[in-house]
Amino acid sequence: LIFQVTEAQIHESSVCPDCQKKKAELAKITFLRRKKMLMESALIQEKLEEQIYSR
């Protein structure tokens, strides 16, 4: 039993190319989502300021 455990391959996501690729994709999606949110919030802020100053 112990022999089988030591022989079993342990998956290390830090060195697995597929895991690295997936991690990079998720990081990019997260980055773009945050960027979009920041831009939308800036646009809303700008529109609010236009409304305030145009009165």
pLDDT in tens, 13-53: 899 999 999 999 999 999 999 999 999 999 999 999 999 98
The pLDDT of residue 11 is 86
**Domain count within the chain:** 1
For residues 51 and 46, what is the distance between their CA atoms, to the nearest angstrom?
9
User: Are the C-beta atoms of residues 19 and 13 closer than 8 Å to each other?
Assistant: yes
Range of the domain at 33: 13-54
Length of the chain in terms of residues written: 55
For residues 44 and 50, what is the distance between their CA atoms, to the nearest angstrom?
10
Residue 6, domain member (yes or no): no
pTM of the model: 0.63
The pLDDT of residue 28 is 98
Please give the torsion angle defined by the CA atoms of residues 16, 21, 22 and 28, in that order, rounded to the nearest 10 degrees: 140
Residue 24, domain member (yes or no): yes
Helices (H) and strands (E) in the chain, counts: 2, 0
Residue 2, domain member (yes or no): no
Task: Name which residue leads in pLDDT, 1 or 36.
Answer: 36
Residue 19, domain member (yes or no): yes
Residue 26, domain member (yes or no): yes
Residue 22, domain member (yes or no): yes
